[in-house]
Amino acid sequence: MVMHRVIKGTPKTAIVKRTPTGKWFVSITVERSSTEGQEKRLPPSEEEVGIDVGLKTFAYLSTEEEIANPRFFREDEAKLARAQRKLSQAPQGSKEREQKRKVIARTHERIANRRKNFIEQEVSKLVTRFGFLAVEALVVRNLVKNPKLAKSIADASWSMFFTRLLAKAEEAGRQVVKVNPAYTSQTYSGCSHRQPMPLSVRVYECPNCGLVIHRDHNGSLNILADARRAVGRHSRVIPEAPGL
């Protein structure tokens, strides 16, 4: 077999997997000592960041930086649709049908590999740079129930991003704090004024203090503030909605 990395530690279990394209993989779980687990620790960092994931941009940081949304599935959606039509036209049980099936499987595999590579690279950049990372505790499986947004949310792969961020941060000795997503977009990060913010509105204009800020930047600042409060560093007051 082709080994991606040298096995370090005592092998305990092995999971063998065959992909729809016919490739075989073996994932080996190993037990390592506490001293071995310290190898991936990074130098301490005092930088903090709030991360607001989205669909227009993959993520907006409290540092006013954006991570573009690559939309891998959307790129190949038309190609997949054509391949699906050709598959449906191929005779059942024929070699032609099996070939068409493999074309679709390879396209899905390519999308998944590109998405995974993107997530790994962006997570690595964030964990290397920041010592304190704040994210929303989103329940993605509930969000994908929205038929208008389900495909875009699945393509963005927020679940994979959060999972890899938590795992990489733990390995590197970084702190990740998950906060309640309630009102992070509706509350102004400066004076705590709150107002409705439909998804179509991309700029937050505060009628209370007059300041204007990008919707996602405002959300990322609130996420960071709530995370600081959660660990005793800072607090943000969420006001009652008008009329309540």
From first to last of the 244 residues of the chain, give the pLDDT tens digit.
Answer: 788 888 888 999 999 999 888 899 999 999 987 666 566 678 889 999 999 999 889 999 999 999 999 999 988 888 899 999 999 999 988 999 999 999 999 999 999 999 999 999 999 999 999 999 999 998 888 888 888 888 888 888 899 999 999 999 998 999 999 999 888 888 888 888 888 888 788 888 888 877 788 889 999 999 999 999 988 865 444 444 444 3
Query: What is the reported pLDDT for 243?
Result: 40
**Integer Cα distance of 110 and 37 in angstroms:** 32
Structure confidence at residue 234 (pLDDT): 55
Specify the pLDDT at position 2.
Answer: 84
Give whole-number Cα distances, 56 to 66, 69, 151, 203, in Å. 10, 7, 13, 13
Give the pLDDT score at 207: 82
Alpha carbon distance 28, 17 (integer Å): 11
**Helix, strand, coil distribution of the chain in percent, nearest 5:** 40, 20, 40
**pLDDT score of 118:** 96
Residue 58: enclosing H or E segment and its boundaries?
strand 57-61
Structure tokens at 112: 């998944």
pLDDT of amino acid 161: 94
CA 212 centroid distance within chain: 27
Angstrom distances, CA of residue 140 to CA of 54, 77, 154, 158: 12, 22, 9, 7
What are the angstrom distances between the C-alpha of 216 and each of 31, 69, 97, 154, 221?
A: 41, 14, 46, 20, 9
- At 241 the pLDDT is 42
| 218 C-beta neighbours (distance < 10 Å), count | 26
Cβ(107)–Cβ(74) below 8 Å: no
- Catalytic annotation, residues: 52, 136, 216
Q: How far is CA 7 from the centre of its chain?
A: 28
Sign of the torsion angle spanned by Cα atoms 224, 228, 229, 231 = positive
Q: Where does 22-181 have alpha helices with state H?
A: 72-89, 95-129, 140-143, 150-156, 158-172
Residue 193 CA to residue 187 CA, distance in Å, equals 6
Q: How far out from the chain centre does Cα 233 lie? A: 25
Element (DSSP H or E) covering residue 60: strand 57-61
Torsion angle of alpha carbons 67, 126, 156, 3, nearest 10°? 130
